[in-house]
Structure 1
């Protein structure tokens, strides 16, 4: 139970820090870059999934 408390406190501190960092010009650029890279990665995974699904449908 003690570990769960510390995890929760860490998450709250992390969100608070991210919120304050996002309000700085450098922080906004950092989060925009992270967002763009995450979107590119998820788009690539989705494209790969659709491609593989199409391959499996054609083989059946």
Structure 2
């Protein structure tokens, strides 16, 4: 049952599996990067609001 097409099919399947794994890894890395970016953006936004709030409350407290 072993013929010339079998090595080609195996090569194709292995190549496809490698590309599939590479795609999943790239997707996971992209998702992790996006989550990290969004998290840092949120931290910056929270810090900015705290700074603005402290500024206004500081002004309100001084009057």
Instruction: Tell me which interval the TM-score lies in, with the shorter structure as reference length.
Output: 0.5 to 0.7
Show structure 2 runs of 5+ residues with no match: 1-10, 49-63
Normalised by the length of structure 2, the TM-score is 0.58
Q: Which has the higher contact order (CA 8 A, sep 6+)?
A: 1
Aligned length: 38
Normalised by the length of structure 1, the TM-score is 0.61
Q: Which runs of 4 or more aligned residues in structure 1 lie more than 2 Å from their structure 2 counterparts after TM superposition? A: none
Q: What is the CA-CA distance between 1:26 and the residue it aligns to?
A: 0.3
Show structure 1 runs of 5+ residues with no match: 1-22
Compare CA radii of gyration and give the structure with the larger one: 2
C-alpha RMSD over aligned residues: 1.2
